[in-house]
């Protein structure tokens, strides 16, 4: 389905619009310090299936979610080890994804029907503001078709997905340009 994809400036009104679109089940691309992500509400199964279809991504593949901090993580994860709080205190917001035990609040499409959930607090004020305003964690794999280089600018996202999402918040070029480090804390011993 083709639609008009709008590039939104990284400011108040655009943040409110992006949050509203996400709450309504639409897709929005957001900047992080690593790469741009293609976001949908982590609780909205149909929106996630649309996200996977647009990306041409295997729906059985789990997607990390973006959160505003450990308070939000507690809504979505259970049996959280103390080490997760220490890592968050030291490295969040930042390019660290932690794999924790899923609580069953997000759509099964987010976890790939698994029992763990990847959570990350991005170091980008605009994206944190959108998550806060939307009031929900966002599934946000890189805003790229499967197998393509991850986008570092809003224009690269538009080149990939023009007409297949409602909006892109233009937060400028991503500072790092590579995906985050992943630490699995769901078992007894942390694994990188």
Q: What is the DSSP string of 9-42?
A: ESSHHHHHHHHHHHHTT--EEE--SSS-EEEEET
Element (DSSP H or E) covering residue 78: strand 77-78
**Confidence bin at 187 (pLDDT 50/70/90):** confident
- What whole-number distance in Å separates Cα of residue 162 and Cα of residue 5? 6
pLDDT for 18-60, tens place per residue?
999 999 999 999 999 989 999 999 999 999 999 999 999 888 8
pTM value > 0.85: yes
Identify the bridge partners of residue 6 per DSSP, sorted by sequence position. Answer: 167
pLDDT for 139-151, tens place per residue?
999 999 988 898 9
Q: What is the pLDDT of residue 4?
A: 87
């Amino acid at each position: 389905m083709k639609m008009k994809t709008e590039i939104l400036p990284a400011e108040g009104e655009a943040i409110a619009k992006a949050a509203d679109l996400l709450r309504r089940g639409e897709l929005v691309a957001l900047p992080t310090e690593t790469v741009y992500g293609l976001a949908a509400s982590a609780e909205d199964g149909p929106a996630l299936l649309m996200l996977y279809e647009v990306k041409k991504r295997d729906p059985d593949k789990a997607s990390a979610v973006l959160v505003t901090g450990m308070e939000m993580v507690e809504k979505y994860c259970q049996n959280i080890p103390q080490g997760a709080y220490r890592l968050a205190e030291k490295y969040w917001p930042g390019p660290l994804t932690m794999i924790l035990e899923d609580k069953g609040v997000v759509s099964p499409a987010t976890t790939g029907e698994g029992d763990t959930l990847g959570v990350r607090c991005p170091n980008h004020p605009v994206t944190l503001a959108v998550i806060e305003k939307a009031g929900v964690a966002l599934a946000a794999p890189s805003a790229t078709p499967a197998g393509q280089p991850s986008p570092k600018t809003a224009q690269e996202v538009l080149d990939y997905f023009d007409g297949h999402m409602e909006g892109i918040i233009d937060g400028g070029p991503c500072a790092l340009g590579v995906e985050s480090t992943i630490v699995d804390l769901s078992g007894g011993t942390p694994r990188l």
